[in-house]
């Protein structure tokens, strides 16, 4: 038995490590946004779109709109009564509102919440073409291609682990995501 320990450490305790998965103190504005912050921001935006689709999903399952399957099934669900139509309009309104926010401020709803912003690589503000068309909508179109739709989303997400923290959609659009004053850092790696 080691009698030289006087600090009360338990020699049998499991090892501890900091995996940087917690929220850190804010860092300087203009630095690259943390991977974790970007991930959580994307997750929140995705949940907003999912919430808009829930009524259409319910209506679609009740009406059998999903029996045929295919990539157009959700659009058939939008046409299944008032619930589907309202859901479709809410989903479309959210797409337009998010596109407007990104084109005018470089921030989606969640990016505003987490105090991060999309900018061009040179630090200038994004516009509709770089912030919406190239960065988001082109990726959505590419993901409609069979086989590409299986590989591209995962590959795009894994690119965040590059030194410059730019995903494929950032490379296509010539953008990066920075943190603003007061942004919390959520590190994952």
Say whether 56 sits in a helix, a strand or coil: helix
- pLDDT tens digits along 28-87: 678 999 999 999 999 999 999 999 999 988 888 888 878 877 767 788 888 888 888 898
Name the nearest CA neighbour of 117 among 47, 185, 57, 31.
31
| Better-predicted residue by pLDDT, 108 or 146 | 108
pLDDT digits (tens, 9 = 90+) for 84-101: 889 889 999 999 999 999
Residue 25 scores a pLDDT above 70: no
pLDDT digits (tens, 9 = 90+) for 123-144: 999 999 999 999 999 999 998 8
Between 47 and 15, where is the model more confident? 47
Q: State yes or no: pLDDT of 1 exceeds 70.
A: no
At 48 the pLDDT is 97
pLDDT at 38: 92
Angle made by CA atoms 184, 185, 189, in degrees to the nearest 5: 165
Spatial separation of the C-alpha atoms in residues 36 and 21, rounded to whole Å: 8
Residues 23/172, Cβ–Cβ less than 8 Å:
no
Query: Mean pLDDT across the chain, nearest whole number?
Result: 86
């Amino acid at each position: 038995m080691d009698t030289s320990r006087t600090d009360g450490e338990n020699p049998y305790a499991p090892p501890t490590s900091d995996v940087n998965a917690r929220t850190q103190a804010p860092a300087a504005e203009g630095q690259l946004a943390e991977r974790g912050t970007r991930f959580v921001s994307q997750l929140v935006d995705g949940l907003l779109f999912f919430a808009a689709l829930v009524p259409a999903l319910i209506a679609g399952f009740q009406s059998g709109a999903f029996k045929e399957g295919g990539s157009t099934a959700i659009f058939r669900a939008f046409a299944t009564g008032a619930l589907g139509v309202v859901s479709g309009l809410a989903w479309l309104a959210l797409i337009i509102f998010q596109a407007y926010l990104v084109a005018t401020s470089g921030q989606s709803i969640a990016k505003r919440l987490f105090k991060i912003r999309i900018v061009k690589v040179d630090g200038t503000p994004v516009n509709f073409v770089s912030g919406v068309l190239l960065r988001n909508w082109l990726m959505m179109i590419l993901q409609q291609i069979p086989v590409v739709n299986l590989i591209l989303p995962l590959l795009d997400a894994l690119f965040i682990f590059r030194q410059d923290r730019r995903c494929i959609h950032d490379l296509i659009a010539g953008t990066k995501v920075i943190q603003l004053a007061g942004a919390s850092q959520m590190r994952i790696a």
